[in-house]
Amino acid sequence: MPSVSSCGAGRWRRHEEWDTMHKDGTSRAPPGTWEGLVGEGVRPVLSQLASNLLLRTSLIAWATAQLLKFSLGWLIRRRPNPSLLISTGGMPSSHTAFVSALAVGAGKLAGFDSALFAVAFVFAAVVVYDATGVRQAVGRQAEVLNRIIEDLYHGRAVRPDRLRELLGHTPVEAMAGAAIGISIAILLT
């Protein structure tokens, strides 16, 4: 049975010749496989990463969500905050946009009945659960700890560092991120 070795340029490539080559005793893998890149340097790997439609789509969804987060922060606070371009938490969720684009793109390219889509979907579900559940709870804990630090500060001369409170996402923020990711995947794949 042929082995599936890579997903580049939006399609699964099967390498029947890889199996044949091994039976013949040769060690050269077909071009475009990770095995074929050994000894060829970094340039072919970077070229393949740049041409990977699924990866590009996911990165564009992430960047779009981060730019929207920055723009919304600028509109609300009336001043730009460049740290929002790389921050976690807030509206919309760039994590959710990234994994939603990955899952929908995988479904469109490989089929919604494929193993690739199943893996991407499960991965997306775990990331979204983490973003809305675990990280949101950690953010609430940071709020409580910061209030405790404030109380201690007023009683003592020591000023400890404040903890970052905006770590997770509300369900609305995650849904907005999913909408961005799904829309970009539909448009680009």
The residue-averaged pLDDT of 8-14 equals 45
The parent domain of residue 91 ranges over: 53-188
pLDDT tier at 8 (50, 70, 90 boundaries)? very low
| Residue of 132, 131, 99, 93 lying closest to 117 (CA atoms) | 99
Q: Considering 17, 34, 50, which residue would you say is the last residue of a domain?
A: 50
Do 36 and 82 reside in the same domain of the chain? no
How much is the average pLDDT of 58-75? 90
Final residue in a domain of this structure, among 50, 69, 84: 50
Q: What angle do CA 153, 154, 155 make, to 5 degrees?
A: 90
Q: Are residues 91 and 176 in the same domain?
A: yes
Q: Structure tokens of 116?
A: 């690739």
Residues 42 and 63 occupy one common structural domain = no
> CA geometry: angle at 87 spanning 141 and 189, to 5°?
120
Note the pTM of the prediction, 2 decimals: 0.59
Q: Which of 7-21, 38-52, 89-103 is predicted most confidently?
A: 89-103
Q: Is there a single domain that holds both residue 114 and residue 164?
A: yes
Together in a domain, 106 and 75 = yes
The Cβ-side half-sphere exposure at 105, using a 13 Å CA radius, reads 31
Question: Looking at the structure, do residues 30 and 117 belong to the same domain, yes or no?
Answer: no
More reliable by pLDDT, 81 or 56: 56
Contact 53, 10 (CB under 8 A): yes
User: Which of 12, 28, 50 lies at the terminal end of a domain, its last residue?
Assistant: 50
Same domain for 179 and 130, yes or no, is yes
Same domain for 31 and 60, yes or no, is no
Same domain, 94 and 152: yes
Please indicate, yes or no, whether residues 36 and 71 belong to a single structural domain of this protein: no
Q: Is the dihedral angle over the CA atoms 67, 68, 74, 77 positive or is it negative?
A: negative
When divided into structural domains, the chain yields a total of 2
pLDDT reported for residue 169:
72
Domain check: are 43 and 57 in the same one? no
Overall average pLDDT of the 134-162 stretch = 70
Statement to judge: residues 119 and 181 lie in one domain:
yes
Q: Which of 27-36, 116-125, 177-186 has the largest mean confidence?
A: 116-125
Question: Which pLDDT band holds residue 3 (cuts at 50, 70, 90)?
Answer: very low
